[in-house]
Amino acid sequence: MKTVAVVGTQWGDEGKGKIVDMLAADADVIVRFQGGNNAAHTLVVGGKKFVLRLVPAGALHPGKACVIGNGLVVNPLALLGEIADLKRSGHLADDSLLKLSYEAHMVMPYHLAIDRAREARLGKRAIGTTGFGIGPAYEDKMARVGMRFEDLLDFKFFEEKLRRNIVEKNAYLKAMLKAKPIKADETVDAMKKARRRLLPYLCDTGAFVSEAIDSGKRVLFEGAHGTMLDIDHGTYPYVTSSNCVASAVFSGTGIGPGNLEAVLGISKGYTTRVGAGPFPSEFTGHLADSLREEGDEFGSATGRPRRIGWFDAVLARYTARVNGMWALALTKLDVLTGIDPVRICVGYIVKGKRYDDMPPSHRMLINAKPIFEEIPGWSESPAGALTLAELPSGVRRYVERISELVGVPIAMIGVGKEREATIVVRNPFAD
Ligand code: IMP
């Protein structure tokens, strides 16, 4: 297959970065299609850790085109910082390989200020956003007052629009949120300086990706966050503000549905979540703490400790459906070594009624009691295994049971942090 999307099937942080980085070796073009720098894709290459937030993970492979599609909201200064970091570490040497959509929206300082002030005012009811202004930027996109990268072509127009927005946002910040206003001159000056550095990356990315597909190139679409954080299909309102499911590939890049051949879902061998919201298979206590340490489960974007839960097969079946999943990649199985038994959530009890599939309303998840199946654990670490046959039998049994419960084949199994520590059962680009 030549066009493959990778999506998260939980609440983000599934280990997509590593899988995308690995698949990027076989791709010609790597495309982000939604979200912003609330995403943080962590990769370990040659013992060095990289965290990419906006630039597609393909940037760590020389010669690959990396596309930031129209579906993103991009903090321009954060993007320039990330590009500079990549260049300092010897990556992204050729600027012509990074393509930024004219139609992508910008995250402006007032978006960050509004995001943070709203969360502070919500107190206990806060969503637990990353505080990077993502929700307010998507609001402006829909309200048709967003700043798009194409606006930079005519700086006079850009400045007028920006100042108009700042007046309106400052009134809202002061009157409603009791927060400090944004300094207009400072913001305009920063954007004037950034403009010269941003313009060379601007591109008609829809046409670029379409042409790549038409000419037989391999294109990898890199999803961010996870299906349960999707604005429509996730645990609303405890979600992010974009569509994170595979169908967002089309609206977020400008290609049609017939152009996508496979969707690979990524899931951890257990579950994590940062921020507030329902999480039926969550557990706390000593085991959760040690798993958090072992799995380094601290938010890559914010450093917050992640909540910990067992693998949830009900969620996984649901996310397989909404994404039209071809196969699943399971990550971080090495982290479960030594835990006995391991549990899988196979159903919920809500108000006395059993649900084997996702209840009709996500609000019902707030009171859902998990039904667990216990599987014998394994004491021998799978780290270092290169094939299915080399996996400890306990891990194999666990993986097979997950595949059976979710109803999709397992394409990859992650057994460590490094790029190489992944057993590839099926490579979508080789199918
Ligand atoms: P926002 O995207 O910053 O508005 O945050 C909304 C919710 O999505 C919060 O619970 C965040 O913690 C969560 N979130 C956003 N992006 C990610 C991600 O990449 N991984 C995990 N959680 C995320």
CATH number where 49 lies = 3.40.440.10
For the chain, which residues score pLDDT lower than 50?
none
Do 313 and 420 lie in a common domain? yes
Q: Which residues are CB-neighbours of 32 under 8 A, at least 6 positions away?
A: 54, 56, 67, 68, 69, 72, 222, 224
Quote the number of domains for the chain: 3
| pLDDT at residue 277, rounded to an integer | 95
Told to judge if 13 belongs to the known catalytic residues of this protein, a careful annotator would answer yes
Atom 21, ligand 1: which residue's CA is nearest?
12
Do 282 and 357 lie in a common domain? yes
CA of 130 to the centre of ligand 1 (A): 6
* Number of continuous H segments (helices) and E segments (strands) in the chain: 11, 20
3 CB less than 6 Å from ligand 1? no
Burial (CB < 10 A; 0-12, 13-18, 19+), residue 373, is middle
Q: Flag whether 429 is in a domain.
A: no
- Rounded CA gap, 403 and 26, in Å? 25
Q: What are phi and psi of 333, to 5 degrees?
A: -70, -25
Do 285 and 411 lie in a common domain? yes
Check 21, 41, 233, 312 and give the catalytic one.
41
Segments forming the whole domain that contains residue 148: 105-198
Q: Which residues are CB-neighbours of 386 under 8 A, at least 6 positions away?
A: 423
CA of 251 to the centre of ligand 1 (A): 21
Do 322 and 360 lie in a common domain? yes
| pLDDT at residue 373, rounded to an integer | 98
| pLDDT at residue 393, rounded to an integer | 95
127 CB less than 6 Å from ligand 1? yes
Residue 307's CATH number: 3.90.170.10
Q: Flag whether 135 is in a domain.
A: yes
What is the SS3 assignment for 178?
Answer: coil
39 CB less than 6 Å from ligand 1? yes
| pLDDT at residue 42, rounded to an integer | 83
CA of 304 to the centre of ligand 1 (A): 11
Q: Strands (DSSP E) along 301-350, which ranges?
A: 307-309, 311-312, 327-331, 342-350
12 CB less than 6 Å from ligand 1? yes
Q: Flag whether 396 is in a domain.
A: yes
Q: Flag whether 127 is in a domain.
A: yes
